[in-house]
Amino acid sequence: MVVELVSVGTELLLGNIVNTNTQYLAQKCALLGLSMYHQVTVGDNRERLSQVVETALNRADVVILTGGLGPTEDDLTKEVCAEVMGFSLAEDTHTRDRISEYFKNSIYKEIPDNNWKQAMTPQGAMVLDNHNGTAPGLIMEKDGKTAILLPGPPGELKPLFEEQVFPYLQKHQPEVIRSQMIKICGQGESQVEDKLLDLISCQSNPTIATYAKTAEVHLRVTAKASSEEEAKELLKPVVKEIKSRFGNDVYTTKEEETLEMAVVRLLKKHELTVTTAESCTGGLISGRIVNVSGASQVFREGFVTYSNKAKRKHLNVNKSTLKKYGAVSKQTAKEMALGGVFATGADVCIAVTGIAGPVSEGEKPVGLVYIACYLKDKVKVEEYHFKGNREKIREQSVVKALDLLRRSILTNYNT
């Protein structure tokens, strides 16, 4: 089955935003075993959009269109697809109700008139409820061709695709494709690839793909088979081999589990509470922990101690330590972690102090970051020299801090 992606939006043609939807959808389609030969981007222009849709429907079985479903005059995707495929538009009362519901209790006093345009749907199309916006997704089938229309904002597109489009496509694709995620923290992409070179080069089913993330590497092992069971049997030995090669560097094999979820899972398992003492990360570590629903079981409070005075007041860091070694030092990181535990009674404290830039501090370079973790009367401190701009240095610090916390628990409980 051949699929083509069409992105609609003048902002893409002007380069105002980077087209991440296309990568996301391409990955998902590859996972489903669909063939993709073209991806096209076109602006909010009726005539050109119409031509692009026609060409795409000619050369592909399924065309996935993103963007152009908004409430404004410029949003034409639905109207154009309906016209090209010969559907007529009519108001969908279910969608109308959903729009009313969406605006109820919202920050808007009344529903803008043009939002009602989003309640018009092609007659006979499948309407996909959008839980994060007012534009529903649509699936239109005619003469063996399918158009799938999805809203452009990734926060709306991804849940819609995941929950409703993926299963729909899977049903229409006879081959079974199953994949297993393996998430690794602690090694770079080339290191990971080096360690897997023999597996990557000699195998065509399953395949192994690597994806570099901030301070993480994700591996996807994918098998094609004629049944679910067969695919699983193909995956099993390869996944086992990879896990044994990377040991504790693997923090999860669950697709949806993030690093902070893995950390919170371990904390819960060992009935530990954690606190945070953050300087350059400024609250991003606690922010990540609170990402996890149910975090309140393991996290109650955290400190953002950006100034030296705050480090002393809340975390009891010694004046002499700050003077002698500086705020960005092994010693200060250690005292921050100890102080966090002392101030809160938590079992674990993760502390970070570093220079995110853009300006270095004295002899200490931008990118120098110390991360300390206190657990069971032991403090482990790590020194990092991160590359990149302020944002990148802080992002890497957050990941490495969460990972140090994870490893400290594993080491301590030998699990």
Residues 69-88 that bind a copy of itself (CB under 8 A): 70-73
In angstroms, rounded to a whole number, what is the distance separating the alpha carbons of residues 50 and 147? 13
Q: Binding residue for a copy of itself (CB under 8 A) from 79, 127, 270, 388?
A: 388
CA dihedral 211, 213, 184, 203 (to 10 degrees): 10
What kind and span of H or E run contains 204?
Answer: none
Q: Binding residue for a copy of itself (CB under 8 A) from 1, 24, 166, 248?
A: 24
Tally the residues of the chain.
415
In angstroms, rounded to a whole number, what is the distance separating the alpha carbons of residues 61 and 80? 18
In angstroms, rounded to a whole number, what is the distance separating the alpha carbons of residues 293 and 400? 21
Q: Binding residue for a copy of itself (CB under 8 A) from 120, 199, 310, 410?
A: 310
**Residue nearer to a copy of itself on the CB measure, 255 or 415:** 255
> How far apart are CB 287 and a copy of itself at their closest, in Å?
4
The residues in 197-216 that bind a copy of itself, with binding defined as CB under 8 A, are: 200-201, 209-212, 214
Angle at alpha carbon of residue 287, lines to 286 and 289, rounded to 5°: 60
Tell me the two tokens of residue 90. Answer: 């009519």
Q: CB of 386 within 8 A of CB of 188?
A: no
The residues in 177-196 that bind a copy of itself, with binding defined as CB under 8 A, are: 188-191, 193-194
Q: Binding residue for a copy of itself (CB under 8 A) from 180, 276, 321, 332?
A: 276
List the x/- string, 212-241, binding to a copy of itself by CB under 8 A: x-x-----x---------------------
| Residue 314 found at the interface with a copy of itself (CB under 8 A) | yes
Q: Binding residue for a copy of itself (CB under 8 A) from 204, 244, 296, 414?
A: 296
Residue 206: CA count within 13 A, CB half-sphere: 28
> How far apart are CB 42 and a copy of itself at their closest, in Å?
6
Q: Binding residue for a copy of itself (CB under 8 A) from 135, 285, 337, 402?
A: 285
Residue 144: count other Cβ atoms within 10 Å of its Cβ. Answer: 6
CA-based torsion, 256, 193, 366, 372: positive or negative:
positive
In angstroms, rounded to a whole number, what is the distance separating the alpha carbons of residues 321 and 343? 18
CA distances from 106 to 102, 114, 117, 394 (A): 7, 17, 19, 34
List the x/- string, 151-170, binding to a copy of itself by CB under 8 A: --x-x---x-----------
The residues in 340-359 that bind a copy of itself, with binding defined as CB under 8 A, are: 344, 356-359
| Residue 361 found at the interface with a copy of itself (CB under 8 A) | no
CA-based torsion, 265, 267, 269, 271: positive or negative:
negative
| Residue 114 found at the interface with a copy of itself (CB under 8 A) | yes
The residues in 42-71 that bind a copy of itself, with binding defined as CB under 8 A, are: 42-43, 45, 48, 52, 70-71
End-to-end Cα, the chain, rounded Å = 45
| Residue 18 found at the interface with a copy of itself (CB under 8 A) | yes
| Residue 293 found at the interface with a copy of itself (CB under 8 A) | yes
| Residue 119 found at the interface with a copy of itself (CB under 8 A) | no
